[in-house]
Amino acid sequence: MRLYDEIFKDTDGVAFARCSIIPRGGGYFENVKAVEEFSDERISLCFPHDRLVVEGENLSIKKYCDGDLQIAGNIFSLSVETDQRAENGKDEQNRARSSNARSQKR
């Protein structure tokens, strides 16, 4: 799994969200930072850069420890919402780095 550990990180070394879905059996989610919303039909999970909304029926959280979370129930859909504030911050940092690099070349 070391290959996955290297693949699933951004350029800053922050791990991306990962999940495995089991049809009619729930799912397993890694790198969860927080549970934002929870009901038996909808669970919203926060990750370093994104928010993942899980929708289904009879959803329940079975385990949540050290960023790993297990959901039981029948998952119908997953939707990802990117944290625009984090993305905008990275864009600003990249522009600042480019500007500094150009001014150092002069």
Cα–Cα distance measured from residue 14 to residue 24, given in angstroms and rounded to the nearest whole number = 31
In the predicted model, what is the mean pLDDT of residues 24-29?
92
Please give the structure tokens belonging to residue 47: 């990750």
Predicted local distance difference test score (pLDDT) of residue 86: 47
Q: How many domains is the chain built from?
A: 1
In the predicted model, what is the mean pLDDT of residues 18-22?
87
Domain CATH number, residue 93? 2.60.40.2000
Strand order in the sheet with 18-22: 18-22, 26-30, 68-82, 50-65, 42-46, 34-38
pTM as predicted: 0.67
pLDDT in tens, 47-62: 887 899 999 999 999 9
Domain limits at 8? 2-105
